[in-house]
Amino acid sequence: MPRQVFFYEHPDRFVAGTVGQPGQRTFFLQATASGRTTSVALEKTQVAALAERIDELLDEVVRRSGGNAPVPAVAPTELHDTAPLDVPVEEEFRVGTMALAWDGAHDRMVIEAQALVELSGEDEDDLEAAEEEMLQDDENGPPLLRVLLTGAQARSFAKRALDVVSAGRPPCPLCSLPLDPEGHVCPRQNGYRRSA
């Protein structure tokens, strides 16, 4: 079966968002253009890592260009997107591997999110080799979401993604684990329940 690639060269919208209540949230990346929407599920830690790496890469692009790259230092307020995900949110796949690059010829950030690959086998080296071969297979590899963003769009995506990640449950002031509305068993309180 040929590889399915969801390609957004000029997205109208590319955001990270969630479905569900804090503590029960499912995280998504969602790209929209010309009436077409693609949603892929991923972990909270993947969203945070993606946002941080985007900011780091954009900072490096600005540094290497001597400040001449079309990349704002902060997310432009006119691109700030606080709207919920477009519904219905239909998961195309769960993200396993992500990649970032800067296309200097077109001044665009390239973001790729590839489907989680599950392989079975006995030898770990054989599994790693099989996974690498599958990920590199442009014709028959796992589904892929590829989005191209301007520097301003990428900064705005990163800001929203970090906001979404931090909008979950507040941390316990003692142990930093997330507090549920009914509290949690705090390891710093010798197992006694700590309330919010």
N residues, the chain? 196
Is residue 142 within 8 A of residue 121, CB to CB? The reply is: no
Predicted pLDDT at 71 = 93
Measure the CA–CA gap between 71 and 20, rounded to whole angstroms. 33
Predicted pLDDT at 55 = 97
Q: Which residue type sits at 3?
A: R
Predicted pLDDT at 38 = 98
pLDDT in tens, 99-157: 999 999 999 999 999 999 876 655 566 556 555 555 555 677 899 999 999 999 999 99
Is residue 103 within 8 A of residue 61, CB to CB? The reply is: no
Q: What is the pTM of this model?
A: 0.81
Measure the CA–CA gap between 159 and 4, rounded to whole angstroms. 29
Supply the mean pLDDT for the chain: 87
- Position 185 confidence tier, pLDDT thresholds 50, 70, 90: confident
Query: Beta partners for 26?
Result: 19
